[in-house]
Structures are given as C-alpha cells and as structure tokens.
Amino acid sequence: MAASVEVFICFVAGFKGYVWLDVMNNNDPIPKSGGTIFAKLLHRKTGSQSGRYSIKGTTPNISSVEGNKVVPREDLRLKGLSADERANKRIMERKENEERVQNEKVVDMQKRDADMATNQKNLQNAKEELGAKMIAWSGSEGNLKNIRALLSTLHTVLWQGAKWKPVSVLVRPADVKKAFRLAMLVVHTDKISKDSPANVQFIAQACFNSLKTQYATFEEREMK
C-alpha cells in the first residue's frame, strides 16, 4: 500500500514566487499567512516513484500541481507562449488595467461634478423659495434682529423634524449662551449632511450665519 505524508504549504506575501513550509506531523502548528491556510496537500509516494500532489484545501492562486511543482494560475494562462509573447501579453494587460482604472476615475469625477451641479441648482431653488421667509426671521442685512429674538423664534423657520425645543424666556446671559449652544447643535454646517435636502441645507446655513453674527455682538456687549 502506498505511503502517504500530509504536507502543508504556506505562501508568504512579499516574496517573488512561493515559500514552501512543510509540516510532516499533523500535530505540529499549521503554517498560515495572514491567519489563512492557503493549501493542504497530500504527497503520495510508491517506491522511488513520486506521485502528484492532490489539493485538499483552498488555494486562491493555484490552478494546477504538476509533479512536485505548484503552477500559478498566471503561468498556466501563458503556457505555450514564448518569452517575448508572455512579456508582450503582460505589458498589454497592464496597460488595459491602467486604462480601466483611469476610466473609472474619470467616471467618478464626472459623477461628482454632476452631483455638485445638481446640488447647487437645488440650493438656488431653495433660496428663491425660502429666502424671503429667512430674511423675515433674521432681519435684513445691516439691521439683523438681536440674538434673543432669533433664538426665541428659531422654531418658526427650522425644517420639519429638526431636533429643537422652542425657548421663550432668555433674560439672563447664561440662558442665551445655553440656547445658542443648543441651536448650534442643530444648524451648524458640520451637523448637516451633504446628502440632506437642499431646503434643509439652505435653512441651516442661513440660521447658522445669522445666529453666529448676532451672538458675537451679544458677547461683546453683555459677556465682558
């Protein structure tokens, strides 16, 4: 009866070709690469004749085993070609891959540009629709309402679903400061996703600008 010896192999990244690591005893640690067993081979011998290896595990980059040599999938694909033909084929495939990657980058860039243009158009539409309402809330440029008025009426201009609890009594500076900080958690541009509807982005930006400007005036006058 033919003797059999189980042999484990491990392919180590960073080397050209393969690094063989044999384990002759099933109780020995199994070699791994990145925590993965790449192949488990069974080597059968009959007398002086060496048989073929039979693959028992999963080999992600092996297509065949010939005699005592594992043949990579790429080598099988180029089998039968001359050295020049193999070199030319690899060059061609590398160029095709580079072109594919470049085309994907171009498509991604075009998509980003299109999305940006669409968003800008939607923001302009939101401004035309909501601009007058926001000015009525904040006051006109050069004649903005004070921070207390803005905070106490903020709920009248926010979008539906905004997490803001209306405030009414803002007498003490400490109350104004607290309400302002809570408002920033709602309308700050960093809190608004770029995927949010255009009306939400426009309202948040308008509220953020007005509140920030008038809070700076409040600090100068009352917090010193």
pLDDT digits (tens, 9 = 90+) for 111-154: 988 888 888 898 899 899 999 999 999 998 888 899 999 999 99
Q: Is 192 helix (H, G, I), strand (E, B) or coil?
A: coil
Mean pLDDT across the stretch 36-64?
47
Please report which confidence band the pLDDT of residue 55 belongs to, taking 50, 70 and 90 as the band edges.
very low
Residue carrying structure tokens 């004649």? 143
CB-neighbour burial class of residue 95 (10 A; exposed 0-12, middle 13-18, buried 19+): exposed
Predicted pLDDT of residue 186: 96
- CA 89 – CA 78 distance, rounded (Å): 8
Predicted pLDDT of residue 85: 83
Mean pLDDT across the stretch 192-219?
93
Q: Is 83 helix (H, G, I), strand (E, B) or coil?
A: helix
Mean pLDDT across the stretch 91-106?
91
Mean pLDDT across the stretch 4-29?
50
The more confident residue out of 111 and 194 is 111
Domain 125-222 indexed as CATH 1.10.287.110: yes
User: In degrees rounded to 5, what are phi and psi of residue 55?
Assistant: -80, 125
Mean pLDDT across the stretch 98-110?
92
- Whether the per-residue pLDDT at 211 is higher than 70: the answer is yes
Strands (E), the chain: 3-9, 39-46, 49-55, 62-66, 69-72
Please report which confidence band the pLDDT of residue 72 belongs to, taking 50, 70 and 90 as the band edges.
low
Q: Classify strands 49-55 and 62-66 as parallel, antiparallel or unpaired.
A: unpaired
For CATH 1.10.287.110, the residue range(s) in the chain are 125-222
Q: How far is CA 122 from CA 70, 117, 192, 204, 212, in A?
A: 59, 9, 16, 15, 25
Summary mean pLDDT of the chain: 76
- CA 186 – CA 118 distance, rounded (Å): 24
